[in-house]
Structure 1
Amino acid sequence: MQLILREYNLKLKHTFTISRESIDFQPSLIVELKSDGFSGYGEATSNPYYKTTVPVMMADLEKIKPLIEATEDETPEEFWSKIHPHLKENMFTLCALDLAYNDLYARKKGKKLYQLWNYTTENNPMTDYTIGIASIEKMVSKMQELPWPIYKIKLGTKEDIAIVKELRKHTNAIFRIDANCGWGVEETINNAVELKKLGVEFLEQPMKADNWEAHKEVFKHSVLPIVADESCIIEADVAKCFNHFHGINVKLVKCGGLTPGKRMIEEAKKLGLKTMVGCMTESTVGISAIAHLLPQLDYVDMDGALLLAQDIATGVTIKDGIIYYSELNGTGVTLL
Structure 2
Amino acid sequence: MQVEVNLFTVNKRFPLTISRGTTAQTTNVWVRILQDGLEGWGEASPFGVGNHSQSTDTIKNCLEQLAPVLQAFSPLQRQEVEQVLIKQQVPSSVRAALDIAMHDWLGKRVGLPLWQIWGLDRHVIVPTSVTIGINSPAGARARARDWLQFTDVRLFKVKLGSPEGIDADRKMLLAVQEEAKNQEFFVDANGGWSLSDAIEMCNWLANLEIKYVEQPLPRGQEKSLAELKKESSLPIFVDESCFTSADIPHLANYVDGINIKLMKSGGLTEAMRMVHTARAYGLQVMFGCYSDSTLANTAAAQLAPLADYLDLDSHLNLIDDPFTGALIQQGRVLPNDLPGLGVQHSASTT
Q: TM-score band, normalised by the shorter chain?
A: over 0.9
For 1:211, the equivalent position in structure 2 comes to 221
1: distance between equivalents of 2:237 and 2:285? 9
2: distance between equivalents of 1:133 and 1:222? 23
For 1:139, the equivalent position in structure 2 comes to 140
Moved more, 74-83 or 200-209: 74-83
Report how far residue 320 of structure 1 moved: 4.2
Moved more, 284-293 or 229-238: 229-238
SS of match in other structure, 1:146: helix
1: distance between equivalents of 2:42 and 2:276? 22
For 1:22, the equivalent position in structure 2 comes to 22
Residue identity opposite 1:98 in structure 2: D
Residue identity opposite 1:156 in structure 2: G
SS of match in other structure, 2:171: helix
For 2:60, the equivalent position in structure 1 comes to 58
Show CA shifts across 1:212-241 (max 9, x none). 221111112211100010110122101111
1: distance between equivalents of 2:217 and 2:17? 17
For 1:167, the equivalent position in structure 2 comes to 176
Q: CA RMSD in A?
A: 1.4
Q: Mind listing any 5+ residue stretches in structure 2 that lack a counterpart?
A: none
Q: Which of 301, 305, 310 is the matching residue for 2:311?
A: 301
SS of match in other structure, 1:200: coil
SS of match in other structure, 2:41: strand
Q: Is the 8 A contact 1:164 1:198 kept in 2?
A: no
2: distance between equivalents of 1:134 and 1:94? 34
2:195 matched to 1:185?
A: yes
Residue identity opposite 1:113 in structure 2: L
2:96 matched to 1:98?
A: no
SS of match in other structure, 2:247: helix
Q: Is the 8 A contact 2:31 2:41 kept in 1?
A: yes
Q: Matched residues, percent identical?
A: 31
For 1:235, the equivalent position in structure 2 comes to 245
Moved more, 1-10 or 64-73: 64-73
Report how far residue 75 of structure 1 moved: 4.2
For 2:40, the equivalent position in structure 1 comes to 40
For 2:79, the equivalent position in structure 1 comes to 77
Q: Is the 8 A contact 2:108 2:339 kept in 1?
A: yes
Report how far residue 79 of structure 1 moved: 3.0
Residue identity opposite 1:62 in structure 2: E
Q: Is the 8 A contact 1:153 1:176 kept in 2?
A: yes
Q: Is the 8 A contact 2:132 2:144 kept in 1?
A: yes
SS of match in other structure, 1:51: strand
Residue identity opposite 1:13 in structure 2: R
Q: Which of 220, 235, 241 is the matching residue for 1:225?
A: 235
SS of match in other structure, 1:66: helix
Residue identity opposite 1:122 in structure 2: H
Q: Is the 8 A contact 1:80 1:259 kept in 2?
A: no
Q: Is the 8 A contact 1:202 1:225 kept in 2?
A: yes
2:152 matched to 1:152?
A: no
Moved more, 89-98 or 290-299: 89-98
2: distance between equivalents of 1:47 and 1:261? 17
2: distance between equivalents of 1:250 and 1:263? 11
For 1:112, the equivalent position in structure 2 comes to 113
Report how far residue 53 of structure 1 moved: 1.4
Q: Mind listing any 5+ residue stretches in structure 1 that lack a counterpart?
A: none
Q: Is the 8 A contact 1:7 1:29 kept in 2?
A: yes
Q: Is the 8 A contact 2:312 2:333 kept in 1?
A: no
For 2:9, the equivalent position in structure 1 comes to 9
